[in-house]
Amino acid sequence: MIALIQRVNWAKVEVAGETVGQIDKGLLALVGLEKADDRQHAEKLLEKILSYRLFSDAAGKMNLSLRDVDGGLLLVSQFTLAADTGRGLRPSFSSALPPAEAELLWRSVTDMAAEKHGNVETGQFAADMQVSLQNDGPVTFWLQV
């Protein structure tokens, strides 16, 4: 399971011109699900996202987590993160979790996130989404479990 997390001043997701998820200061997490992923992977990755220290403390050091700053979390499913780009000029998605299984696991991820952190918004699974954000820093990290 992969997450590309970005510290943002704001972020939103639109589907067919309608805003389906929006946060102010917090994290945008683009999440890719791979074939070997399960609920345990989801729990571990979610805990890492919520606890990762990438917000500045009073001294300007990255010592605070999303929980510490009570920021928003915008979760967006992105199967392209699971792509194999090692050969050729066209990505292979053979390592991505099949859509039906991915949707079940995705719903589990979003439900867990809502339980663990009150300020959670999501994109729409398998939709053509338009993601807008203002990256703060920029601060972007790749997390994988």
Q: Where are the domains of the chain?
A: 2-144
78 is annotated as an active-site residue: yes
- State the catalytic residue, choosing from 19, 22, 40, 78: 78
Q: How many CB atoms lie within 10 A of CB 134?
A: 12
CA dihedral sign, ordered 33, 1, 57, 116: positive
List Cβ neighbours of 76 (8 Å cut-off, separation of 6 or more). 13, 21, 28, 29, 30, 31, 122, 123, 129, 131
The most distant pair of C-alpha atoms in the chain lies apart, rounded to whole Å, by 47
Q: End-to-end CA distance of the chain, in Å?
A: 6
Q: Global pTM? A: 0.96
- State the catalytic residue, choosing from 80, 85, 134, 144: 80
Tens-level pLDDT at each residue, the chain (145 residues): 999 999 999 999 999 999 999 999 999 999 999 999 999 999 999 999 999 999 999 999 999 999 999 999 999 999 999 999 999 999 999 999 999 999 999 999 999 999 999 999 999 999 999 999 999 999 999 999 9
The answer as to CATH 3.50.80.10 being correct for domain 2-144 is yes
79 is annotated as an active-site residue: yes
